[in-house]
Structure 1
Amino acid sequence: MPAAAAEQPRKPRPLWLTSAITMIAIAAGLIAIEVIDNLTPHHDLDANGIEPRQVGGLDGIIWSPFLHGDWAHLFGNLGPGLVLGFLLLMARRFLVVTGIVWVISGVGVWLTAPAYSITIGASGIIFGWLTYLLIRGIFNRSLWQILIGVVVFLIYGSVLWGVLPTDEAISWQGHLFGAIGGVVAAWHLAGRDRRRRAPQALPSSGVGL
């Protein structure tokens, strides 16, 4: 009996497909959370947002990006979020950028938001994604990334007005500090990449002259 033919190695999934599936999964998770929140008597999940300058409100930094006031709030974030998140995944910078933006945006809201308020929503992270994609090419000195930033700006640049205190119902603090987080992430990653590319110094022979 002839030996069975060796199985062909499975081809890796294309990056664009993995990125798209990841963002669809994130969107599905946020929608599921909103469904659960709407099934609670008084939208109880929304009480887990960021409570400024309250020690008990610090955990809201973790939970707030998952929570939204209503369906309009959620889908308003999902629109740009799906596109910007996809671009970050394609750039292989999603986790680091998101982590930096998440912390800076959340802590900024906790320090500066109005007393007795509760801040929820993923818009702070989305602003950080946006500013990272806008300016990373400058820090990286990459013409290609600058061109991508220009296209992103033409599509979503008007969103940046959200860093200004134009509406009491909108957390401009989250937007502002999220945008700052995106700049910090671009600066940090560009510096890290340059250090990795720099040639290692040759060890000295130890022989004096």
Structure 2
Amino acid sequence: MKAIATVKQQLSFLGIVAGILLVLEVINLFTGNYLNQYGLVPRHLHALGFMFTAPWLHSSPTHLIANLLPLVLFMWLTMQWGNKVFVKVSLTVMVLSGIGVWLFARSAVHIGASGMLYGYFGFLLLAGFTSGRVRYLLISIVVIALYGGMLVGVLPTQRFISFEYHLFGFLAGLLSAWTWARRRNTV
């Protein structure tokens, strides 16, 4: 019974996250993308704190929809390592990808949940192998098999896509897996 409650709690949390993303996109849509001024602008000190708001903002409904389903799925899969690991991974990815973009990205307003998406992706690719546990290894193998093509997204393939957020999110996810998903840290 406890596992069902945990799954219900996880799904409820994911529903809230998705709901917030959708509400922000509707507000942005009706205000001419007003909220996007809270995106991350590299090397502008006033924008450094926007590493915490940028992942919640999107340039269009299409941009949000492209991120939403894999983001929620990867968040849920990351939650399988436990709440503490999920929170550590989330914060690490948000902060390290934000700092990476702020320091090294092209001059532009960087927004979107894809940095987080790639962070969870990086975590999921490596975490099963570092954990030494079969169930986690299976998650990693399934993610590699179904989503391995996402690796191309860390390359500069399209002008208006922040490959930098993808790259730094992915690297932060790998670091998170190495740090918090190793055998000694998993339950």
TM-score by length of 2: 0.92
Partner residue, 1:19: 10
1:98 aligns with 2:98: no
State the AA in 1 paired with 2:72.
L
Partner residue, 2:158: 167
CA 1:196–1:30 in 2, change beyond 3 Å: closer, same or farther?
A: closer
SS at match of 2:53: helix
SS at match of 2:128: helix
Deviations for 1:111-158, whole angstroms, at most 9, x for unmatched residues? Answer: 11112x100001011101011111112222223322211111111111
State the AA in 2 paired with 1:94.
F
Alignment of 1:59-98 (within 5 A): 59-92=49-82, 93-98=85-90
Deviations for 1:145-184, whole angstroms, at most 9, x for unmatched residues? Answer: 2221111111111112100011111111100110010111
Partner residue, 1:203: none
CA 1:195–1:76 in 2, change beyond 3 Å: closer, same or farther?
A: closer
SS at match of 1:14: helix
The number of residue pairs the alignment matches comes to 184
Please say if residues 41 and 48 of structure 2, whose CA atoms lie closer than 8 Å, have aligned partners that are also in contact.
Answer: yes
Q: Which of 114, 122, 130 does residue 131 from structure 1 map onto?
A: 122
Q: Which of 27, 32, 51 does residue 36 from structure 1 map onto?
A: 27
Gaps of at least 5 residues in structure 1 are 1-10, 198-209
CA distance in 2, matches of 1:134, 1:69: 28
State the AA in 2 paired with 1:110.
W
Please say if residues 180 and 186 of structure 2, whose CA atoms lie closer than 8 Å, have aligned partners that are also in contact.
Answer: no
Q: Which has the larger radius of gyration?
A: 1
- Indicate the structure whose relative CO is greater, using CA pairs within 8 Å and at least 6 residues apart: 2
Please say if residues 35 and 57 of structure 2, whose CA atoms lie closer than 8 Å, have aligned partners that are also in contact.
Answer: yes
Q: Which of 182, 185, 190 does residue 176 from structure 2 map onto?
A: 185
Gaps of at least 5 residues in structure 2 are none
SS at match of 1:59: helix
Please say if residues 15 and 90 of structure 1, whose CA atoms lie closer than 8 Å, have aligned partners that are also in contact.
Answer: no
TM-score by length of 1: 0.83
CA 1:39–1:97 in 2, change beyond 3 Å: closer, same or farther?
A: same
CA 1:141–1:90 in 2, change beyond 3 Å: closer, same or farther?
A: closer
Please say if residues 16 and 90 of structure 1, whose CA atoms lie closer than 8 Å, have aligned partners that are also in contact.
Answer: no
| Larger helix percent | 2
